[in-house]
Amino acid sequence: MTLQVLVVDDEPLARSRLRTLLGDCTSPTARVGGEAANATQAMELLRRHSFDAVLLDIRMPGADGLALAQAMRMLANPPAIIFVTAHAEHAVEAFELEAADYLTKPVRLERLQMALLKVERSSIAVRGIQPEAQPEALVIQDRGRTERVPLTEVLYFKAELKYVTVRTAARSYILDASLSELEDKYVAQFMRVHRNALVARNALRALEKHDDPDEGEVWAVRLNGIEEVLAVSRRQLSAVRDALVT
């Protein structure tokens, strides 16, 4: 499920920061359904729309976040409250209001995702929703962020020095793993075509002769979604032919 989130903070930069973090959330996913700069604006939105969670600052002009949280308890379907504040001294009061979590600024993505996961689990329990089965995925550390790449999107794995290149139709990733480990784990979905490469069985498109600048004429496999071809070793040639016709 994608959580609908209301962001309440009197500082535009703080709201912008939370929007960015929510956009980066992958488990669970979250969408900014509305923004408010004060308690009055927030209550107007809450009366008109349904939200799963409110990211709520405490110190704001007019009624503060604690007063707003108290008012939200009177709603027919109150959202979960996640306080987001630079001040840690209100934590006890926040949890007395049954807040789902209490985050201190600057908020880290991992900590926000943990808070949203609590909200998701609570929502599932209350509504009796069966969580959707998550597709099998690789967890890849890429340029300072953690990303889930569904296995169904991977076209091939190719060993490159100490790492493995993971190729999808859209882009390439670097994975710290060994090809043999990946082959053992995903033998049903991937097959070895060369000592340095595994390809997705359902991505196989063609087997053809290819001119290699170093080895001359060799056999290569072509995959759906990319123009790049991968060399096929003589040892694996028969297995690749069989996979193409079955």
At which of 127, 146, 163 does a domain end? 127
Question: What is the total count of domains within the chain?
Answer: 2
Q: How confident is the model at residue 2 (pLDDT cuts 50, 70, 90)?
A: confident
Residue 59 belongs to a domain: yes
Which domain range does residue 44 map to? 2-127
pLDDT of residue 37: 96
User: Does 141 lie in the same domain as 122?
Assistant: no
Query: β-strand 2-8 against 197-200: which pairing, if any?
Result: unpaired
CA distance 54 to 69: 9
User: Does 109 lie in the same domain as 221?
Assistant: no
Give the C-alpha distances (Å, rounded to integers) separating 47 from 93, 121, 189, 204.
24, 24, 49, 53
At which of 96, 127, 158 does a domain end? 127
User: Does 155 lie in the same domain as 108?
Assistant: no
CA distance 80 to 150: 30
Tell me the per-residue pLDDT of 76-113, one tens digit each, with 9 for 90 and over: 889 999 999 887 777 777 777 788 889 988 999 989 99
Residue 82 belongs to a domain: yes
User: Does 123 lie in the same domain as 36?
Assistant: yes
User: Does 157 lie in the same domain as 100?
Assistant: no
pLDDT of residue 36: 96
- pLDDT greater at residue 1 or residue 195: 195
Tell me the per-residue pLDDT of 148-178, one tens digit each, with 9 for 90 and over: 889 999 999 999 888 999 999 999 999 988 9
Q: Rounded to the nearest 10 degrees, how much is the dihedral formed by the CA atoms of 104, 110, 114, 116?
A: 80
Question: Does residue 135 carry a pLDDT above 80?
Answer: no
At which of 63, 97, 127 does a domain end? 127
Quick one: CA dihedral 125, 127, 132, 138, positive or negative? negative
Q: Which of 103, 101, 89 is nearest to 14 (CA)?
A: 103
Q: How confident is the model at residue 226 (pLDDT cuts 50, 70, 90)?
A: very high
pLDDT of residue 131: 52
Does the pTM surpass 0.85? The reply is: no
